């Protein structure tokens, strides 16, 4: 477990025995961060916050569906982030948050086997490093969770920028490489589409979750109040990311359509060539077939130059057909 008590004077690391005293003390923001497999920390969470069993169960589940639940003394949220796994594919990053006015508890849920702990916690580690170095001094738990959401948005922005650069490279490859021989290029296009769809889905789900939070705060009474200004900023940021991912997806789809058009054009060109050469072969077959019939009285049957003459006729017919097909652009 990583435990920090953050105050205007700085951030202090806490041991398990010091956490209860820090939670009861006025002043400062308490941040606890641990994994869902840490049984002692999960038990401590139940002692510090009146958590619901269903929320505890959510900490042990891996679901792509975001959840936000609001109570009189705390909020619970399960909004997935994104991280690129060791296999190079984007994976959902299941992060659960328990938020009170003076405390934030972040629980990393079960992740894909391709996501190492270091990769899955990169955003939390970056926020923690900024706090420890004095670059960030959140005055409340709401400001702290806002910093974590901002780090998640920054990750999404970097992923979109990375995808945009890959699209530009793919565009050059589509226009320069032989589409018949560039089968791997099609796989790259589909991988890019998968990444952009994952980014778009993650951003859209986060934005909808914040919209639900704003609507719930407006309609229901008796719930713990939150900093709606920061919530609206987060909603707007994720909406912008969703819109940007949609634009990149549209551009990528144009690249896929262009690639498929080039493949279709090359295929038609190949079929035309095969048809042209086949037509030349058919003309020769007709001539050979005529002179291969076994009749007693056939023209040129006893002619000494009959065989060479037939070969010359076949050559002339072939040349004439080649010239005709080239003139029509089939060869």
- The mean pLDDT of 42-49, rounded to a whole number, is 90
pLDDT band (50, 70, 90) for residue 183: low
89 C-beta neighbours (distance < 10 Å), count: 13
Residue 104: its pLDDT value, please?
93
C-beta atoms surrounding 73 within 10 Å: 11
Q: What angle do CA 73, 79, 84 make, to 5 degrees?
A: 145
- Tokens at residue 55, please? 């929320």
pLDDT band of residue 179 (cuts 50, 70, 90) is low
The fraction of the chain above a pLDDT of 90, given in percent, is 19
Whether residue 296 has pLDDT greater than 70? no
Q: What is the pLDDT of residue 106?
A: 93
Is the pLDDT at 301 greater than 80? The verdict is no
Give the pLDDT score at 295.
Answer: 64
Tell me what the mean pLDDT of segment 39-52 comes to.
90
For range 224-233, the mean pLDDT: 86
Within 8 A by CB and 6+ apart from 157, the residues are 241
Average pLDDT over residues 248-264: 80
Average pLDDT over residues 300-324: 79
Q: Among 203, 87, 217, 102, which Cα is nearest to 149's?
A: 203
Task: Work out the average pLDDT over 223-243.
Answer: 89
What are the strands of the beta sheet with 10-13, ordered from one edge? Answer: 10-13, 2-7, 29-35, 103-108, 90-100, 75-84, 67-70
CATH domain 2-263 topology: Beta Polymerase; domain 2 (3.30.460)
Local confidence band at 182 (pLDDT 50, 70, 90 cut-offs)? low
Tokens coding 85: 């796994």
Q: pLDDT digits over 74-116, tens only?
A: 999 988 888 888 888 888 888 899 999 889 999 998 888 888 8
Give domain 265-327's CATH architecture.
Up-down Bundle (1.20)
Residue 180 predicted with pLDDT over 70: no
Residue ranges of domains in the chain: 2-263, 265-327
- pTM, to two decimals: 0.77
Q: Do domains 2-263 and 265-327 have the same CATH topology?
A: no
């Amino acid at each position: 477990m990583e435990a920090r008590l953050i105050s205007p004077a700085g951030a202090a690391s806490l041991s398990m025995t010091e956490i209860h005293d820090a939670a009861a003390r006025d002043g400062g923001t308490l941040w606890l961060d641990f994994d869902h497999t840490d049984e002692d920390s999960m038990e401590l969470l139940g002692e510090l916050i009146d958590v619901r069993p269903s929320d505890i169960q959510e900490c042990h589940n891996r679901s792509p569906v975001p959840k936000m639940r609001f109570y009189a003394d705390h909020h619970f949220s399960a909004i997935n982030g994104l991280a690129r796994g060791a296999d190079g594919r984007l994976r959902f990053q299941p992060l659960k948050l328990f938020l009170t006015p003076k405390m934030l508890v972040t629980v990393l849920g079960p992740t894909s086997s391709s996501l190492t702990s270091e990769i899955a916690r990169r955003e939390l580690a970056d926020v923690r490093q900024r706090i420890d170095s004095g670059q960030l001094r959140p005055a409340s738990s709401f400001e702290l969770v806002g910093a974590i959401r901002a780090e998640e948005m920054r990750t999404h922005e970097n992923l979109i920028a990375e995808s945009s650069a890959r699209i530009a490279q793919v565009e050059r490859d589509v226009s320069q490489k032989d589409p018949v021989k560039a089968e791997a290029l099609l796989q790259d296009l589909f991988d890019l589409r998968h990444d952009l769809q994952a980014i778009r889905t993650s951003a859209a789900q986060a934005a909808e979750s914040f919209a639900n939070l704003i609507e719930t705060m407006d309609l229901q009474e008796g719930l713990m109040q939150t900093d709606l200004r920061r919530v609206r900023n987060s909603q707007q940021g994720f909406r912008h990311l969703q819109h940007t991912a949609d634009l990149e997806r549209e551009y990528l789809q144009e690249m896929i359509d262009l690639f498929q058009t080039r493949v279709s054009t090359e295929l038609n060109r190949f079929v035309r060539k095969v048809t042209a050469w086949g037509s030349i072969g058919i003309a020769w077959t007709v001539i050979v077939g005529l002179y291969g019939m076994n009749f007693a009285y056939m023209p040129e049957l006893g002619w000494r130059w009959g065989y060479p003459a037939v070969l010359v006729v076949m050559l002339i017919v072939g040349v004439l057909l080649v010239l005709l097909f080239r003139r029509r652009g089939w060869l």
